[in-house]
Amino acid sequence: MDDTGRERWDIDFDVAKSMRYHAYRRKFWDNADIAAKILTGISGAGVLIAVIGEYEPLSTVFAIAVAVTSVVDVVLRFGKRARLHDSLYRDFSLLAQDIAARESPSKTDLGKWRQRRIAIERKEPGIIDLLERRCAAEEAVSRGAEVSPEWQLSAWQVLISQFPVFSLPRGFKKKGAKAS
């Protein structure tokens, strides 16, 4: 593969990885939003039933559940986060379409694609390391490319990959997969 082909592959890989990443984040925040609404609805109904049935301790528990769920939703803004990741997914999808449409890109095309990718990335919130590694591994597998050892996660790491409190081990290098 020549330099232009390799660079095209690298950009396309990064864009596809980002699409996977934002699809996961969009789903995560959509599910959190739905769960919060369901919990608020059930707890609110529970408060009403407990008050009518004069079950004061139960009404207190349900009222606390409504209050906590509502505050967490207001602070974390589940719906807004889901919409942000949907927007980023769409932006990366449009870039992927442009890349796919150009079979033999010029250096100018490659420069424009890098520029667009960087512009989209500026809108991204902080990246979750484990989820990025997970998406890189999945994209490499889908392309039949070599999966970097740094991208291979244990089942436990996959399970917690949506949570930003876990970071990469020292020495992790964010490199593209090797084309087959």
pLDDT at 170: 42
pLDDT at 56: 80
pLDDT tens track for 90-114:
999 999 999 999 989 999 999 999 9
Low-confidence stretches of the chain (pLDDT beneath 70): 165-180
pLDDT at 171: 45
* Cβ burial, residue 1 (10 Å; 0-12/13-18/19+): exposed
pLDDT at 82: 96
pLDDT at 78: 94
pLDDT at 168: 53
